Amino acid sequence: MQIRKVYVIFITVVILAAFTPIVFAATEDTLIITFDPDGDINIDVSRSSYAFGSALANQWKNTTGGTFTLYNNGTVSMDTQIKTNASTDSTSMSLNASGVAPIQDQYAIRITGLDISIHLGIAYGQELDQGLLPSDSKTFDVCLLIGVNLSANFTTQTTTISFQGSQS
């Protein structure tokens, strides 16, 4: 009789299970979104080189009247950072980016005409120009200061100024 009760209960559970919907686990579904980001930064500087000629120690040598032009040829507003080499190509002279007058065998470079005029350093840091709109441009000048004196009669020295644009 006991076995019969167990058997009846078992058959009842099986019949109920067959007719009852069972949810044992959560289900998952997905939605795939596709998009193509549009917008680019495209920075350009006109005049790719400039020769100051003879530069005397302890005297500023400046371009004037917007000698160079910074262009935003991209499709989004651009902030601009600028840096320069730590030394000249011959390594004869080193950069002084402190804003204090350079000492012997040093030089300093200052950019004027952009949003901020500061002495250039060797790393991208502060933005010298902010929010230059697409297809817009801005003129600027470069100022060079040779240290208070020189230890030799150097040959022509060259240094590079680099520009980096990032989205505003």
Give the number of other CB atoms < 10 A from CB of residue 5. 9
pTM for this entry: 0.76
Is the pLDDT at 73 greater than 70? The verdict is yes
The chain-wide mean pLDDT, for the chain, equals: 88
Note the pLDDT of residue 5.
65
Give the number of other CB atoms < 10 A from CB of residue 165. 24
- For residue 75, give the CATH number of its domain: 2.60.40
Domain count, the chain: 1
161-167: strand order across its sheet:
127-132, 78-84, 161-167
Give the number of other CB atoms < 10 A from CB of residue 83. 20
Residue 167 CA to residue 2 CA, distance in Å, equals: 81
Is the pLDDT at 62 greater than 90? The verdict is yes
Note the pLDDT of residue 10.
64
- What percentage of residues in the chain have a pLDDT greater than 70? 85
User: Is 22 inside a domain boundary?
Assistant: no
User: Is 134 inside a domain boundary?
Assistant: yes
pLDDT in tens, 111-153: 999 999 999 999 998 899 999 999 999 999 999 999 999 999 9
Domain carrying residue 149? 43-167
